[in-house]
Amino acid sequence: MRTFVRGAAMWDVECPRRTSRTAGVTMAGFRVRDLQALRIVPYPAVTLLLEFGAGSPVLDCAAGRQQPGSFVAGPGLGSGGAVRAWGENVECVQVRLSPVTARAILGASPADLDGAVVSLGDLWGREASRIREQLGDVPSWQDRFALTDALLARRCAAGPPVDPEVAWAWRRIVGTRGLARVDGLAAEVGWSRKRLWSRFRSQLGLPPKRAVRLVRFDHAAHRLVAGEGAARVAADTGYADQSHLHRDVMAFTGATPSTVAGEPFLAVDDIAWPSRGTTAMPHISRELRPGRRPEVGRAPL
């Protein structure tokens, strides 16, 4: 277990030694003695948090609503800078689910979350209590990761897949780091723009244009955290200019680019998710061309 320190933040972080058996699943373990008002920065994945320690994390959401304990949140949790996390003696496994995989694992479409935070107990019932007890009973972090991975693999195998065209469009957006054009995606899968919007939104939880913005923002934000200047980041990540980047960062986080560059929520990724999970640059297969259907058996990213 490694210790992450950034300003006043100090957390113990553990990573799995093996990749997940389920495509589109990454996880990390956290032990935090005193979690103080951490700003949640939007990320292009579904967040599944499994807590099991003596304490409990609490999310302060919009309109003063609080969500304690284990939860699920759709892509872009924290947009607008309205969500904070806090707690004492927090121990948890945080799972990032590609929206392509999340539908099967959750047993519900990410669209049903509609950008909200949902108690895992409300979604999974008694299974949420069982996994909490099991995570607390096993002796090591690697055992906890193995237990979590087995649960997610079982649920994924039993759940409904997304349309292969939708899965391909998501992979294309991620692979281009948010530079794909929605019209081009629709043309390549042989759908109308309206049909792609409808299927993408209903199955992944956000429309294609917002997915493009979220993936592009995530890539730019991590480069800001790495110490790159805003002008260079804007030029390299597809923004019209530095002002465009500033507006997007403010819209997603409620903070300026210089403030976001110091956010612990982003900086910890170098330890917790060194490959950056769903935003890592994958190989983009050309299994779809105009007039050709995608390969149904392709693993989601």
Domain boundaries, the chain: 2-158, 164-279
Q: Which residues of 62-92 are buried (b: 16+ CB within 10 A; e: fewer)?
A: eeeeebebbbbbbbbbbbebebbbbbeebbb
Q: What is the predicted pLDDT for the residue at 239? A: 97
Write out the two tokens for 118: 């949902």
Model confidence over 209-241: pLDDT tens digits? 999 999 999 999 999 999 999 999 999 999 999
CATH of domain 2-158: 2.60.120.10
Token look-up 């890592």 returns 280
Torsion angles phi and psi, residue 51, rounded to 5: -100, 150
CATH of domain 164-279: 1.10.10.60
Tell me how crowded residue 27 is: count the other CB atoms within 10 A of its CB.
23
Model confidence over 4-58: pLDDT tens digits? 999 889 999 999 999 999 999 999 999 999 998 899 999 999 999 999 988 989 9
Rounded-to-integer distance, Cα 187 and Cα 212, Å: 16
Model confidence over 249-268: pLDDT tens digits? 999 999 999 999 999 999 99
- Three-state DSSP class for 173? helix
Q: What global pTM score does this model have?
A: 0.89
E-assigned strands of 23-141? 25-39, 46-51, 58-60, 66-68, 71-73, 84-97, 117-119
Rg, C-alpha atoms of the chain = 19
Tell whether the model's pLDDT for residue 301 goes beyond 70. Answer: no
* Range from 74-78, 134-138, 172-176 carrying the lowest mean pLDDT: 74-78
